Each structure stands twice: as C-alpha cells, then as structure tokens.
Chain A
Amino acid sequence: MAIKRTSALLGSAAVIFGLMGTTAMAQSDDNAITVVTPLAYDNLDSCNSSADVGVVVRENVTEALTHLNPETGVPEPRLATSWEQTGPTVWRINLRKGVTFSDGEPFDASAVERSLERMFNPELDCLNRGKLFANIRLTPTVIDSHTIDISVENPQPLMPIFMSFLTIESPNTDFDSMTNTPVGTGPYVVSERGVSDPIVLERRDDYWGETPAVAKVTYLQRSESALRAAMVEVGEADIGLNIAIQDAINPETDMAYLNGETTRLRFTFEGPLADIRVRKAMNLAIDREMIRDGLFTESYRIATQMFLPRINGYNPDIEPWPYDPEQARALLEEARADGVDVDAEITLIARVNFYPNGLEAMEVMTAMWQEVGLNVNLQTMERAQWLRIVNKPFAEPRDTMVIQEQHDNNSGDATFTMHFRYHSTGQQSEFGDPRLDELIDAADVATGEERVSLFQEANAYSASEIVPDVMMYHMVDYMRVSTRLDFTPDEVSNSMLELSKIEFNENE
C-alpha cells in the first residue's frame, strides 16, 4: 500500500514537473522578441528621447529629422531629406514626402513646427529641452507643406546634429501633458502601456521605409544582471541589456561594446591641486593598464580625452599618461621645495554604484597616490550628495577634491563636452584659462575641418598645459544576444536600440 502511494506521488510529481517544464520553456512567436532591461521606463514621451527611454522609442516609435551614423558621427537623412544653411542663423530643411504617422496623420512641415513648439512648452518636463536645448531657442517657420526653416538667435553650425534629437510626434499628441503612448512615424507602434505593464511595440504595416524583420517586441524590466543573463540563456528573452562583467561568461552570446561613456577624475584646483606639478604627479602615479586588467576587461580603452574617437574634435595625437611613480615623486618634491603643501589632505570623492567595479578602482587609485607620498582619503557619496558638489554654484570654500565622473557624448561633436567641462563659464569647470576659452569659443562657431582642428587644439592644450583631470577609460557594456538573432550592438546601443537592425538567424 505504502509503495503504491509513493509511486503515485512520484508519478504525479513527474507529470507536474513535466508540465512546468513545458510551460517554462514555451517559445515565443517566430518574429517576436523580448528585450530585458535594467531600468523601468516610466515615461515613453519622445520629448525624453535623449534620456534612458531613448532605448525604446528613438527611431523605433518616433523618428528624428536626421540620424547620426554610429560609426562616423555624421548626420544622415531620416525625416529630413536634405538641409542647408540659408543664412547665419537660419537652416532650411526639406522634409520626406509620403510619410504618415501611425495614427494616420500625414507627416508635414506643420507637424514639425508643432513638435518643436511642444518641446519648448514650459508646462512640460521635457528632458530633451533640459539637456540639449537649454540655451538654444529654435524658431520654426513653415515655408510649404514639406519645407521648413529653423532659425536660432546665434549661428549654430551643429543644426544637423541637433536635428537628430528633434523627434517628431503626431499632431494629435497632447500639447500640455506628457504621453505614455507616443505616436510617431517610426516602424513600430506602442501597443500596450499601462501602469506596471510591460512595454509592447508592434510593427506597422504602412511604414514608409523598409519593413523590419522583428514583428513584435516586449520590453521587460529586471534589475538583477544575473537574472537578465539567465532569461536570455533559457530562452525567455532574446536580448539582455547591461549585463555585468561577472555574468558575461558566454562568448557565444555575450558581446562587449563601447557604450559611449568615458570616465575621469576631476581636480578642484584647490590646495596642492592648484599646482600643475601635483596634478601631473597624480596622473603619473596611476597604473591604468594594471587597473584595467585587474578590475575591468581588455575591452576598456585607456582614454586621453572625454569622448570617443568618432566624435568631431577628438585628437588622436594625445598620448596616455605613462605609469611613472618615480617621476611623480620627483614632481611632488619639486613642488614641495617651492612651498606647495603637498602633504595636505586630498579627498577622492567616489559615487556609489556608478559603474561596475568603480569603487574598487577608486580604492586602488587611492593606494597608488598614497604610494607616491600623497595624503589622499577616499569618501563615498550617493548620487544626490555627489550632484551637490559637481555642478556650479560650488559651495565656498571649495574643498581639495578629486571627483569621480562619467560622461557620455553620443551627439557627434566635441562642443557637448568641452564647453560644459573646460570653458571658464562651464557648469562643471573648475578653472578659467583665457587661451582655452578662446579656442573653445572659436571652435563653437566654426564649421568643417576648422571646427575639428580647433577642438583638437583645445584638447591638446588642456591635456598638456592645464591637466584638469585624471583621464581613465572609454567604458564598455555587455549585451547578451540570443543565438536566434543576428545583431551586434554598437556605440549608441545604450541610448538607442534600433529594432530595424535586428535580423533572425535562419539556422536557429
């Protein structure tokens, strides 16, 4: 009797586990994919497309006038077919014909005008305005149904780049409030979106461009990297974003790519840090290769400036700082002999959870500086605390600090980095140097080769004559991509995951 009962129980368990297995391993539709992300995208309004939500909406739901080539950073036609500068402050844009929004409204100049005016509507928390157009007011003038002029107060040579952030929404979009179901001209529509629901995009049948291979996309949020990796491994998801280094262990599916972020430590130019010899010594004391190999991976590139080589103004001739603790000690002794208090305390400000192994890197750097005789102490801060010390107006007196920073420039031009960080009026600049200001100001209004050359000169001058920071790395992210997909992430995948670039592997 007991044996019969045991057998029955085991049999039932086998059936239950069998059913569970079937349920758990159920595959999704052939042309549907699931993307698992670490962040909850609470507001899909395309007015925020320069922020995290750009991964979902940019170029998938709403399209911009131009599109930046991820490899070259050069603006290419999208909703605008051509553009020209017709005056110092006026750009004429020719718009694509035969395009409709997913709600059936035609795409034309008046739709562009309305989208621009909506972005500048002070009633909206539009992050694109806050991030990109805080100091630039764009004024649209409709010329005809598919031609529009955009004018600015001051000459703006970067208009084609700015146009890559001008996402155009349907004229039916609410003008005075943000929307969670944006309607654009892109190849996908938001088909499901409610409080706490996953985001689902479905392919349009009437898209003006080439029909993408992916028919339906579901975005799920899981905060744990190990879980995101596991979901792709077992087939519950097809793409896992931001996989941590320790979870990226499958070379077949885990892809490393430069994520557009660059890390550095910023000097505050106070106490001993006001002396350039001390700043140089702090650079010479750091063994960047050892830190990279020990805490990060070979894919990280040692940085010499705050943006990647594809950005206008990158100077390939700037050499990374060598690791030379002897020279660092000599420079410190020289400064000490001239009366600089090189023994004064320097605080290294590290931000918690900034990037993987970031805090460990700060600990190693602190030890390296202590090794050459500097009095450096490490202090960690949560984001809100950290924000209070990185932006002007700075509290007086300013402490003697080295501050951990990370910056992304996916906008194609050096001005989005240089002005803010190195110009005397920059919100995060710690110093004022007339020569550097002059170079940045001249570059800002220049075009073409002259612009590139001026920014390169500014970068070289800053790196050799000012030494405002300890440059670290061009950072890398990992993405886990299912073998059923044919997709390779690029430098902009963290801010814009274009679904039309995803194909299916036929042999899977």
Chain B
Amino acid sequence: MTDRCFPDNGPVARGNTRITTQGRADFVGHYFRQRTIHSAISLFGLVIIVFFLARLTGNPMDLLLPVDTPQSVRDEFSARHGFDRPLIVQFGQYLSDLVRLDMGNSLRDGQPALEHVLAAFPVTLMLSFWAMLLSLTIAVVTGSIAAWQPGGIFDRIASLISFLGASIPDFWLAIVGVLVFAVMFRVLPTSGTGTPWHWVLPVSVLFVRPCGVLTQVVRSSMIAALAASYTKTARARGVKSRTVIFGHALRNAMLPIITVAGDQAAGMINGAVIAETVFGFPGIGKLLIDSILFRDFAVIQAAVMLTALAIFVLNIGIDLLYAILDPRVRHG
C-alpha cells in the first residue's frame, strides 16, 4: 500500500511559521515530482518483473499450437515471433519498442495489444465506479448509524451482515445470483452487456465484499469519532443526531475510510476477475486471465502497465483527497 503522507523533506514551513501561497504551490509541485519519480521507478521494476516472470511460464507456441505439432514447426513458429532469442535480447527489443509506445501485437489475433487493453479498460472502470459508489454509500450510512448505538439491535444486524458480505466468496455469489435472479425468478439477464439490467448482477457481486469491509471500518472509525469531546459537546448543545453524525463525526472519521476504500478500488481496477469472467464482461480482468492462459505476453504486459498507471493515479488522487479533507495534512 502506498503511504498516505506527504514527504517531510519538502519546502514546507514547519512549527509556528506561516505557510505562504507560493510555499504551498512549491510544496505541491515538489510532491508531484517526487511521486512521479517514485511511480516511474516502480513501473520500471514492474515491467522487468512481468516480462521475465511471464516468460518463466513457458513458450507460448507450446500453447498456441496443437499438442501433436511436430517440433520443427514449433521451432519455426517460435523463431518467427523471436521466442528463440536469448531473454535479454527479447527484453531489449521490448524496451526499445516501449519507448516508441509500441506494446506489441496480440499473439492470438495479431491486433495491437494496446487496442485490446484500451477496449477493456473502460468497462472495468465503469464496473468499479458503480460498485465503489454503491459500497461507499451503503457502508457510510449503515456504519454511521450502527456506530450511533454500539451494541444496539441495528449495530448487531449491520455487523452480522457486513461480516457475511466481507466473507462470501465472489464466485459462489455470482453463480447463486444467476440461479436465483436469472433462472428462478427470471427478472435479470444471466450475463453479458447491452442494457442497464446487465450491470445489476455484476455490480451487485462486486460491491458486496468492499461494502462489508467498509461498513466495519466506518463503524469503528465513527465509534471513535462519536466518543470525541467535540461530538459530546455538540450533543450536549442539542444539535440534531443527523447533524452530529454526518456533519461533525463523519468528516473526522473519513481518513481511515478513504484509505481502505482506496485499497478496495485499486483491487477492482486491477481486474474484477470473478465478476468479469462469470458474467462475460469484456473488462481488464477477463482480458488478463485469457491472456495469461494463452501466454499472450504482449497483452499481459500492456494490461499490467495500464493497470499500474491507473493505480498510481488513484493513489495520487487519494492523497489529494486527504489534503482536502484534513487541514492537518493540508497545512503540513
């Protein structure tokens, strides 16, 4: 997980010194430079790891060609794709292509790998967006109400359901969802895309686990916030419960919630593998699984690269959100 702190060696005034606007701008610029450098280093490391680990799993020609294919033909196919060359030479070629933003072609259909990835990525982003929106909304409302009276009936029921949600295997939930809503009641399509109804089951399967986890986090974070002196004061002054919970306590309880939500979102962007595979959603998770099974190296590498970039952007966004929500972070 990326650390959620701004670097402490930046040109930020400390102690009692007041921060000027120029100083804050310098700080933000410095922060982005640092994060970009760190991200570039991580990305390069990732490129090396994915390239060599993928090739450790074997020659794609072994999988592409039928088992009965003579060795001479396997050798011919391997040579045409450069798989017979030393690994380090292949890596050098890959890097030189990458500099020109050429991520190679898919072994399966000869189309540019980037084209496959760019077609799949928006689907995953949309799926993740709706699932996270639903998770966060339900978790914040449920966790906050549960925290208002810890140990009460609502808290117990919410805790039980959220524990269940966090523990249910996605795959089981997906298949049961199809059997109940598509086969038994016939109110939803089993799979595929095309209408908003096709999104209901995949989003439902995808949001359950993060929602369970987040509800737990919101609850514990809110219990601490509601026990703080400022909320007690607000209550004593007769401020409405709703205002105390959502106006005072929640804002102060948001930092751990954002941290966990960020991790959950990164997991989804990484590929909502189960939901995409079961429901036939042409997203990045399904693309990655198919590419790994066929050792389609170019697509694997392009998908990992783009996913990593998205996660870096997400992390930066979360850091910025910290700064917006918490003045202590904003002012160093």
Are both chains from one complex?
yes
B227 at the interface (CB under 8 A from A): no
Tell me the residues in window 52-87 of chain B with beta carbons closer than 8 Å to chain A beta carbons. Answer: 57-59, 62-74, 76-77, 80
A330 at the interface (CB under 8 A from B): no
B135 at the interface (CB under 8 A from A): no
Tell me the residues in window 110-126 of chain B with beta carbons closer than 8 Å to chain A beta carbons. Answer: 110-111, 115-116, 119-120
- Mark the stretch among A203-211, A217-225, A308-316 that contacts chain B: A217-225
* Least distance between A269 CB and chain B CB atoms (Å): 20
Decide yes or no: A224 and B295 within 8 Å by CB, A17-B187, A125-B64 being known contacts: no
> A21, A222, A384, A420: which contacts B186 (Cβ < 8 A)?
A21
> B59, B190, B197: which contacts A231 (Cβ < 8 A)?
B190
* Least distance between A50 CB and chain B CB atoms (Å): 8
> A24, A123, A134, A196: which contacts B73 (Cβ < 8 A)?
A134
A135→B70 contact, CB < 8 A? yes
A427→B68 contact, CB < 8 A? yes
- Mark the stretch among B11-19, B94-102, B151-159, B275-283 that contacts chain A: B275-283
CA distance A174 to B122 in the complex (A): 31
A178→B178 contact, CB < 8 A? no
> B73, B175, B189: which contacts A224 (Cβ < 8 A)?
B175
CA distance A49 to B195 in the complex (A): 34
Which of chain B's residues have a CB closer than 8 A to the CB of A223? 277-278, 280
A236 at the interface (CB under 8 A from B): yes
Tell me the residues in window 1-57 of chain A with beta carbons closer than 8 Å to chain B beta carbons. Answer: 17, 20-21, 23-25, 40, 42-43, 50-51
* Least distance between A443 CB and chain B CB atoms (Å): 18
B192 at the interface (CB under 8 A from A): yes
Tell me the residues in window 277-312 of chain B with beta carbons closer than 8 Å to chain A beta carbons. Answer: 277-280, 282, 287, 290, 295
CA distance A123 to B287 in the complex (A): 26
B190→A236 contact, CB < 8 A? yes
Tell me the residues in window 177-217 of chain B with beta carbons closer than 8 Å to chain A beta carbons. Answer: 178-179, 182-183, 186-192, 195, 197, 200
B71→A391 contact, CB < 8 A? yes
A427→B63 contact, CB < 8 A? no
Which of chain B's residues have a CB closer than 8 A to the CB of A213? none
Decide yes or no: A233 and B73 within 8 Å by CB, A51-B66, A384-B57 being known contacts: no
A387→B62 contact, CB < 8 A? yes
A221→B187 contact, CB < 8 A? no
B109 at the interface (CB under 8 A from A): yes
1/0 per residue B309-326: CB within 8 Å of A?
000000000000000000
B331 at the interface (CB under 8 A from A): no
> A122, A384, A427, A428: which contacts B58 (Cβ < 8 A)?
A384
B189→A427 contact, CB < 8 A? no
Which of chain B's residues have a CB closer than 8 A to the CB of A25? 186
- Across the interface, name the chain A residue whose C-beta is closest to B189: A24
Which of chain B's residues have a CB closer than 8 A to the CB of A344? none
Which of chain A's residues have a CB closer than 8 A to the CB of B195? 23
* Least distance between B280 CB and chain A CB atoms (Å): 5
Tell me the residues in window 155-199 of chain A with beta carbons closer than 8 Å to chain B beta carbons. Answer: 177-178, 180, 195-196
B295→A384 contact, CB < 8 A? yes
* Least distance between A310 CB and chain B CB atoms (Å): 19
A226 at the interface (CB under 8 A from B): yes
- Across the interface, name the chain A residue whose C-beta is closest to B289: A223
B108 at the interface (CB under 8 A from A): yes
A291 at the interface (CB under 8 A from B): no
Tell me the residues in window 393-417 of chain A with beta carbons closer than 8 Å to chain B beta carbons. Answer: 393, 407, 416
1/0 per residue A371-385: CB within 8 Å of B?
000000000000111
> B77, B178, B200: which contacts A227 (Cβ < 8 A)?
B178
Most chain A beta-carbon contacts within 10 A, residue among B76, B175, B182, B195: B182
Which of chain A's residues have a CB closer than 8 A to the CB of B279? 227
> B66, B119, B197: which contacts A130 (Cβ < 8 A)?
B66
For B, the interface residue count at a CB cutoff of 8 angstroms equals 52
A23→B197 contact, CB < 8 A? yes
B106→A42 contact, CB < 8 A? yes
A20→B188 contact, CB < 8 A? yes
A127 at the interface (CB under 8 A from B): yes
Which of chain A's residues have a CB closer than 8 A to the CB of B62? 383-384, 387-388
- Across the interface, name the chain B residue whose C-beta is closest to A25: B186
Place the interface of chain A in its size category. 35 or more
B106→A130 contact, CB < 8 A? no
CA distance A387 to B59 in the complex (A): 10
CA distance A178 to B106 in the complex (A): 12
Most chain B beta-carbon contacts within 10 A, residue among A220, A227, A234, A407: A227
> B58, B59, B65, B178: which contacts A127 (Cβ < 8 A)?
B65
> A180, A220, A392, A427: which contacts B192 (Cβ < 8 A)?
A220
B280→A220 contact, CB < 8 A? yes
* Least distance between B255 CB and chain A CB atoms (Å): 35
Most chain B beta-carbon contacts within 10 A, residue among A40, A177, A233: A40
A137 at the interface (CB under 8 A from B): no
Tell me the residues in window 245-282 of chain A with beta carbons closer than 8 Å to chain B beta carbons. Answer: none
A129 at the interface (CB under 8 A from B): yes
> B72, B175, B179: which contacts A134 (Cβ < 8 A)?
B72
A21→B187 contact, CB < 8 A? yes
Decide yes or no: A130 and B109 within 8 Å by CB, A195-B119, A227-B178 being known contacts: no
CA distance A83 to B110 in the complex (A): 36
B190→A234 contact, CB < 8 A? yes
Decide yes or no: A230 and B190 within 8 Å by CB, A384-B57, A384-B295 being known contacts: yes
Which of chain B's residues have a CB closer than 8 A to the CB of A196? 116, 119-120, 282, 287
A390→B175 contact, CB < 8 A? no
A227→B278 contact, CB < 8 A? yes
A131 at the interface (CB under 8 A from B): yes
> A127, A134, A407: which contacts B70 (Cβ < 8 A)?
A134
CA distance A122 to B77 in the complex (A): 9
B72→A231 contact, CB < 8 A? no
Known: A131-B65, A227-B279, A230-B190. 14 other contacts (CB 8 A): A20-B200, A42-B109, A180-B111, A195-B116, A222-B278, A226-B175, A226-B179, A233-B183, A234-B182, A234-B186, A391-B71, A407-B68, A416-B68, A428-B68
- Please report A residues at the B interface, Cβ cutoff 8 Å: 17, 20-21, 23-25, 40, 42-43, 50-51, 122-123, 125, 127, 129-131, 134-135, 177-178, 180, 195-196, 220-224, 226-227, 230-231, 233-234, 236, 383-385, 387-388, 390-393, 407, 416, 420, 427-428
23 inter-chain pairs at a CB distance below 8 angstroms, sorted by A residue, are: A20-B187, A21-B186, A21-B187, A42-B106, A42-B109, A127-B64, A130-B65, A130-B77, A134-B72, A134-B73, A180-B111, A195-B109, A223-B277, A224-B175, A226-B179, A227-B178, A227-B191, A227-B280, A230-B190, A236-B190, A384-B59, A385-B58, A388-B58
The 7 closest A-B pairs by CB, nearest first: A384-B58, A42-B108, A196-B282, A42-B109, A130-B73, A43-B109, A387-B62
